[in-house]
């Protein structure tokens, strides 16, 4: 009778321990799943930020290229106008280029690179 009692008590103890281990295991799995979910959301946020920054830079470059093309066209028109009137004035062309660069969205060095790149 005492041995049966000990066996039942041991069985109940083991069953209780198994239940505790099972619960702990389920909690660890849930914690890991939640952690991975948070990491995935953070990565998605970073990817979205990078994508939007890439798009913004692309638009910036496009605007700068259009501005450079416009500046080149205006200089060409001024040179053609001076050629028609037979009054070449490099100073006037330089003034026009300087005024275009002052209005630009790029720093002067980047604008000159864009202008030189377009003219080639």
Q: pLDDT-derived band of residue 42, with 50, 70 and 90 as boundaries?
A: very high
| Residue 1, H or E segment | none
The listed range with the strongest mean pLDDT (44-53, 64-73, 79-88) is 44-53
Distance separating alpha carbons of residues 86 and 25, to the nearest angstrom: 91
> What is the pLDDT of the chain when averaged over all its residues?
85
Across 43-61, average pLDDT? 96
On the question of pLDDT at 44 being above 70, the answer is yes
> Looking up tokens 């948070």, which residue turns up?
38
- Per residue in 84-96, pLDDT tens? 777 777 787 788 7
How far apart are the two ends of the chain, measured CA to CA in Å? 104
Does the predicted TM-score (pTM) go above 0.75? no
């Amino acid at each position: 009778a005492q041995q049966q009692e000990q066996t039942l008590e041991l069985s109940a103890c083991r069953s209780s321990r198994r239940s505790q281990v099972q619960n702990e295991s389920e909690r660890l799995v849930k914690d890991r799943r939640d952690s991975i979910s948070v990491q995935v959301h953070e990565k998605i946020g970073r990817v979205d930020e990078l994508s939007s920054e890439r798009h913004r830079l692309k638009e910036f470059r496009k605007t700068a290229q259009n501005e450079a093309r416009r500046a080149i066209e205006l200089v060409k028109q001024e040179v053609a106008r001076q050629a028609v009137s037979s009054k070449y004035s490099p100073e006037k062309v330089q003034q026009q280029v300087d005024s275009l660069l002052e209005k630009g969205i790029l720093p002067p060095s980047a604008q000159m690179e864009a202008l030189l790149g377009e003219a080639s």
